[in-house]
């Protein structure tokens, strides 16, 4: 554990940010699973609705700095590709 006051604060701030990032990543994974489940069930309407929600959540995570913009784009691209195969 740190002895300097500023270092102690950095430890606390890092822990807070790590918890926030972990929660956001978990949320993104949940929405991705919803899209994958709809694709597995071959339910196009549900897949499109889930894709719209997932895209929004991924974009929000990207804007907060949790994901790099290329990572976010890759995730959206893979989901879109999977949904478009249903057509």
Task: Provide the residue ranges of all domains of the chain, joining segments of one domain with +.
Answer: 25-86
pTM of the predicted model over 0.85: yes
Cα 13 from Cα 19, distance rounded (Å) = 10
Please give the pLDDT value at position 61.
97
Q: Token digits for 38?
A: 């709809």
Structure confidence by residue, pLDDT tens digits, 6-38: 999 999 999 999 999 999 999 999 999 999 999
Asked if residues 76 and 58 have their Cβ atoms less than 8 Å apart, the reply is: yes
**Residue bearing tokens 């604060």:** 9
């Amino acid at each position: 554990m740190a002895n300097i006051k500023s270092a102690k604060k950095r430890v606390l701030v890092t822990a807070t940010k790590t918890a926030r990032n972990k929660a956001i990543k978990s949320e993104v994974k949940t929405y991705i699973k919803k899209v994958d489940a709809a694709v597995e069930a071959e339910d196009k309407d549900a897949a499109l609705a889930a894709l719209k929600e997932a895209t929004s959540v991924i974009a929000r995570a990207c804007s907060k700095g949790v994901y790099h913009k290329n990572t976010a784009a890759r995730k959206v691209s893979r989901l879109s590709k999977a949904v478009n195969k249903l057509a």
